[in-house]
Structure 1
Amino acid sequence: MKTDLPPRPLRAIIGAVLMAPLLVAMYVLLTIPIAEEPVQLLPRWAQWYYLGGITLVVAIWLAFLLYRRDTEAYRRALEQVGRNPSDRIQDRIDAVHRSFSEAATLMDQLRRDVEAQQAAREALIAQAEEQQLFLAVDQEQAERIRQILVGETKKTILAERRREYTFLLAGLLASIPIGFFVNWFS
């Protein structure tokens, strides 16, 4: 009897043990002397013990993580295999029923949303038609208002120019006596 079970947790331990040579190779590559006399904070034997400790901690940590992941997947697969086939079929039937009831609920919600959007669209169309009627009636009035505003705007521009020229002339006329007065006393 062949089942689709995940590999045994032993694979996790083997993978973690294979990580140790990679860490050793990385340490050796990083400690290649670059200068003629490299600075060493620890003696060579202490560095190897330090590397061995780090490698052991990393290997144990990886083994634990991989073992836990594989063990849980293996346990879940065993639970599925150990169950009665009629129970598994019933679970699948229940899942299908839940999916159909959820689909029916979603269809109801979509139908209500579409109806609400259609009602909103009809209201907007009614408002647009009403605005069209107001626009046709008010178009003549808008033209008259525009002519009045343009006429008033031209009058306002001329009045502002006159005022600016008046201030310019007043400034020129006032600055000449003030300049003579300042020069007289200095």
Structure 2
Amino acid sequence: MSARDVVRSDMDAVITDETAERHLDAYRAEVLAEAADEIAGVDFHPNASANCSYLAEGFARRLRALSAEPVDPSKAARMRDAAARRTPARPPLKSRLALLLAHVQEHGGEWTTRRVQKLYAAEETPAPLRTTARKDLHALHAMGWLVLDTTDPGRRCYRLNHAHGGTR
């Protein structure tokens, strides 16, 4: 029975924290060993550089070494904290696009970069750059929600694509 099967079977029963940690450590080691085997088994094209196989062998060795190391919870916490400090907090793109799409559907009309910036400012959405507004409009256009109005060559604006299920 693999460590993965043991973890699954023990989930149904009440287990102690020590048992769960032991099973999770075994599962981690199993996953890392599987990854090492996969990397080591990559069949490189004969024309590929020798560096590719050298790198793959190095990754496989490192993963096998990691699978033998015990988990250090404090190291994992430090890594999460460092990652959180590096990445600034910002709302996910999906919520900003959903907000924009809802306003476009509700109000209709022409949507320019400036109009989107005014919307974000009114909604207190942290997206101060014109580039953000332009990319959000382009993303909705790429998804089919908006159509690009190019009747005026010096001006780029978008309108709701009624064929995509928009309201008039």
Q: TM-score, normalised by structure 2?
A: 0.26
TM-score normalised to the size of structure 1? Answer: 0.24
Q: More helix per residue: 1 or 2?
A: 1
Higher RCO, 1 vs 2 (CA within 8 Å, ≥6 residues apart) = 1
